[in-house]
Amino acid sequence: MTGHGHGHGHAAGHGTPHGPRWLSLSIAVVLGVAAIFAGVTAWHANVLSGHAVEYFTLSTQAVNDANASSQDADRGITSQRQLFIDYRAALDSGGESRAAAIRGMMNASTLQAIAWWEAQPAGDRPLSPFVSANPAWDAPGDVVSAQAALDNANEYLHLAEEYLARSHTLELFAALLTIAFLAGGLTGVFESIRAKMLLLSVSVVVLIGCLTGTVVFW
């Protein structure tokens, strides 16, 4: 009987060589949550990175559109102004047929601008129909369109930088979760319950910190 009791006590002593069952379950739960959370965080960081690339592309395209619109507007304004100069020179020299031919090369906006300019009193008439006071001259609208495209480019660039920064932050949190894995894994090395509790506490603190940060930057 005595030997049997001694053997039973010896077996019970080896039944929990790594600490209480609740401690082992807690470590397993923390590591499981950390693994799932690391995967989800890395996935969302990748999604944000994709959005950043998309907005960088849109920003570049908007800049190209703004440059093209600006160049087209500048070329158009220069061309129409030169036609007006030639038109006035032809009229001043009595070349009515040449003036008519030049008018045929003008666009509708320029013709309307000239009509408004010619209708103004001589004393108040601007030197050129291509002034902002002329309501018939819509060339400034082309310049405004180019500026609007450039504003869109800046907005897209801001969004791209924001998404990229959030992506990098989430990638950092995913990397920091390796501390939780490391601390949890080391619990199997130590026999001391106190050491296991300390490592588990480190894992929990890291996990909570990363969870909080991810919610903020999600």
* Selection from 91, 108, 86 nearest residue 116 by Cα: 108
How many alpha carbons fall within 13 Å on the CB side of residue 72?
A: 12
Q: How many CB atoms lie within 10 A of CB 84?
A: 20
Burial code (b: 16+ CB inside 10 Å, e: under 16) for 119-132 equals: eeeeeeeeeebbee
pLDDT in tens, 142-155: 677 777 888 889 99
Q: Name residue 68's amino acid.
A: A
User: In whole angstroms, what is the distance from residue 198 CA to residue 183 CA?
Assistant: 9
* Model confidence pTM above 0.85: no
Q: Within 13 Å, how many C-alpha atoms sit on residue 109's CB side?
A: 16
What distance lies between CA 32 and its chain's CA centroid?
32
Q: What residues contact 27, with CB distance under 8 A and at least 6 apart? A: 184, 187, 196, 200, 203
Q: What is the pLDDT of residue 140?
A: 59
Provide the mean pLDDT of the chain: 82
Per-residue confidence of the chain (218 residues) as pLDDT tens digits? 444 444 444 444 444 445 678 888 888 888 888 888 888 898 999 999 999 999 999 999 888 888 888 888 788 888 888 999 999 899 888 888 998 999 899 988 889 889 999 898 988 888 888 887 888 777 656 677 777 888 889 999 999 999 999 999 998 998 888 888 888 878 777 777 888 888 888 888 888 888 888 888 88
Question: What's the pLDDT tens digit per position in 21-61?
Answer: 888 888 888 888 888 888 889 899 999 999 999 999 999 98
Q: What is the pLDDT of residue 203?
A: 86
**What type of residue is 131?**
V
The number of helix segments (H) and strand segments (E) in the chain equals 6, 0
Going from the C-alpha of 36 to that of each of 46, 165, 177, 207, the distances in angstroms are 16, 23, 10, 11
Domain spans in the chain, listed from the N-terminal domain onward: 21-217
Closest CA to 136 of 118, 111, 107, 119: 111
